[in-house]
Amino acid sequence: GLFSQKYEGLSLFSDRFMIPIFDEWGDCVALSGRVIPPADESQRKYINSPETSIYSKKKTLFALNLAKRSMGEKGFAIICEGPMDCIAYHQAGITNAVASCGTSFTEEHIQKLKRFAYNKETGTSTIYLSFDSDGAGQKATFKAIIACRQAGLTVKIIRLRGGKDPSEVLLKYGAETLTADVNSAILDNDYLL
């Protein structure tokens, strides 16, 4: 997916920071290109490889290959909006974070996380939602709460202090603040109220 059939001779990922996307077994299946700041605001923030027989956006979770063991050990998974937010969590030592790949949080994502974030002691799977604090992020949070509830998951919401996304919080305030935000996640009922 490095080149487009529609725009032959033009690199799809030109002037972008490239991030490999791996499947849950650690095989590289796609690429994500993030626009490099300061950039033209009219550009899409991320461009991902097109769908292929080995890469499906609705099934693939960024960093699942790195996070699945930690999810099992901690008994919960964190889902965030994009690769850079997920990388921020991992940089802060919070290694049970994953991100969707250019699509909304899907039923396929939920079923994967339900399996990996299972807590043997409580007999439940728990998902922490960490979407951006803007209007679109809050809509995505509401939709994700409903979908996770329908799948029988326990849901908590991470409210970020001092930034609109995890990467901004990490950059401005450091790992301690991001960790404190995760540790003070609230139940979905409290968020909805």
Q: Tell me how far apart the alpha carbons of residues 79 and 50 are, in angstroms, rounded to a whole number.
A: 22
- Look at residues 75, 73, 144 and name the one whose alpha carbon lies nearest to residue 114: 75
**Hey, is 143 helix, strand or coil?**
helix
Distances from the Cα of 100 to the Cαs of 161, 176, 192, in angstroms? 22, 25, 23
Output 6-14 pairs: Cβ under 8 A, ≥24 positions apart.
12/47, 13/47
pTM: 0.90
The pLDDT confidence band at residue 106, using thresholds 50, 70 and 90, is very high
Sole residue written with tokens 């009922």: 189
Strand partners, 30: 21
**What token pair was written down for 90?**
């991992």
Say which residues have a Cβ less than 8 Å from residue 170's Cβ, sequence separation at least 6.
88, 91, 92, 177, 178
Structure confidence at residue 47 (pLDDT): 84
pLDDT of residue 186 exceeding 80: yes
Structure confidence at residue 121 (pLDDT): 86
**What token pair was written down for 31?**
């690429």
Q: Tell me how far apart the alpha carbons of residues 3 and 27 are, in angstroms, rounded to a whole number.
A: 21
Other CB atoms within a 10 A radius of the CB of residue 66 amount to: 17
pLDDT of residue 18 exceeding 80: yes
Structure confidence at residue 171 (pLDDT): 93
Structure confidence at residue 41 (pLDDT): 61
Distances from the Cα of 8 to the Cαs of 31, 86, 105, in angstroms? 19, 32, 32
pLDDT tens digit sequence for 78-91: 999 889 999 999 99
**One-letter amino acid for residue 190 of the chain:** D
Q: What is the mean pLDDT of residues 102-125?
A: 89
**What token pair was written down for 80?**
């965030």
Mean pLDDT across the chain? 90
Say which residues have a Cβ less than 8 Å from residue 162's Cβ, sequence separation at least 6.
168, 169, 172, 173, 177
**One-letter amino acid for residue 67 of the chain:** A
pLDDT tens digit sequence for 43-82: 777 888 888 999 999 999 999 999 999 999 999 999 998 8
